Structure 1
């Protein structure tokens, strides 16, 4: 699977392109901006893009109006097709958001229900009670996503709904040559639908990648051979920044051992979760870490731990962003042009090392040394061994552990490392030691 050897770059298109927050109905080819960023995306070391919602919607993209039409605020289907073609020509895979749990109130089939009520041929596309009422005073009640009634829940056990969604996915492959889908709120989506989705997508394109959004619990409930290939690793997202802020690396160490360790009870051994330090829904990592010197270290952990690393646009140069008054707008800004600084270059170095190392892409996980402020773990695959070493302290540290090796090459610096007499870790440092 190509995704297991990839570095993803996430773009939230409506924010990235500076589109109006509400759909103004004005056709503007803003999505072409992505083509201007291709050199930067490649420079960051990414070779896959995950696009948040791109289809016609009421406001933020997750309130779909039409799955067959690119949002007019972004341009036309032809505009996105040209962007996707340019990305593919540069060796970049394309994954888009599949928002299948719910639609917006402006969705054409729901509008027909509001107009024709019990006589609508689409009344069973949703979960509707015509004897009730909703917050919009429609004279009917319907199920919304987690109490948000601007998001109308689809009936994913209705064959007509399934047929419509699958026909749209097929058209996305034909029009845009997409390489995969990220399933929004996959933890809510009907499991039988996920099984049918996997079977269908397996017929569309070799190695068509499916990753699902899940916040907690056992990710295996949606990530398995019958459903999705991957899931969002929110457990380690929290552990990464929290363990650095509290200077307690045991937290992230415990999460990684629970997920990938050598014990028989390990949950996800051999699987590939989508890892991230921030995204369009959470505080940007530069605003989340209490010590800015930990910023390079959290990315070293991201690219060194098991799974698929994903970078959120703008965070590669340390852009800040917090939720303000419950709004996500500040997390999804429009940048006039990409920036490059020492952090960007560091991320690119980590990304290159990750992509070029089978051990970092596929390797087992073993903890070798763990303290509150230092963490050394091993990734091994088919005889290849890479030790990931992080010192989160402002003081140098002499690490004594059994490396079962004499010398190594640091994949980040190219320098030779000798394990004889211990390993000195400089302050706020990270290394990927590939064993000779």
Structure 2
């Protein structure tokens, strides 16, 4: 595998070198031998002008597959550069779930043209899949399950499978469906190929995987796949009729997208933004986040200004203030990250919130006392002032306790309000730890000096 990875990297490097040397014919040949996912990665790593040049050399029959691996902003831009007929031709061989995802990220008129260019039963299936919310089991599923009846024999099933051109990707089991269309269980291929040809499907099928409701949130679907180590799972409607199946590759894609979104949103960035996109567009999206941060910084500055007289009496306080804020920020971020992860995995519920609160506050007390003593002794040795060492030690303890409480309550409150904690939690936490840290430190110093 490692050798294959190095080979792919060398292949992409050869494309970049050929592009830099202007050897466009060689670029075209290399692109034809490169996996669509790697082509997408190359396109995203190129500046817009070079990206368009390389995109024009991608074969029409492979262009649709490449589009499915691109981030939304780049995907939409490159799709619009294709001739409408070429674009329609390039997506006809995509799996239905991939085509659904592509239509959902493209501009409305382009998506409508792709839908209109699809005919027959495939169009009916496409319209059905598009009717489900994108972040639901219906939005993840594909309409390609292989169905068998429970009363047929293994030999009949084997003959039926041989008539098929190929099995759908990620097929590890067949769906057992009654004559009423209701899902009854799954027949694993490993069981099928080792069974006697006279055995009936009903005697071999397993019901360990119940049908996933079509409206189940995508996050819960991902958790189910993780818990049960599934490769595929059936999807059923309210009447338990089989309507499709979800495969692990689509779940992995969703997990990766959610992880990317959380990381980018914590910095106020759009996960689908083009790394080499227009300067004005990039600056506009970041300016909002910087403005929010300015407001929080001004709030902290306002707290400091309330203690101007104290700072004038003891200049050392200004030197030590960042230590208090920094320690609180780190401690709060640890708790915040733990809670956000627990919410994402469904580990935090009403029944265990009190236990989690007790645990985190206990950790904060121990760490607060430990580092209050360490920092207090360091400050005493630095400034030869037991008073200053005691003040900063007490402020550290207070701020770490406040940071733990904020790290717990902020994501829980945002989650209850329907706001992604990863998006706003960090900014709010930083404000709380800065304000409380400065207030505790300077407030204690004011009391001591008065």
Between Structure 1 and Structure 2, whose CA radius of gyration is higher? 2
Greater percentage in strand: 1
Greater percentage in helix: 2
TM-score, with normalisation over the residues of structure 1? 0.23
TM-score, with normalisation over the residues of structure 2? 0.22
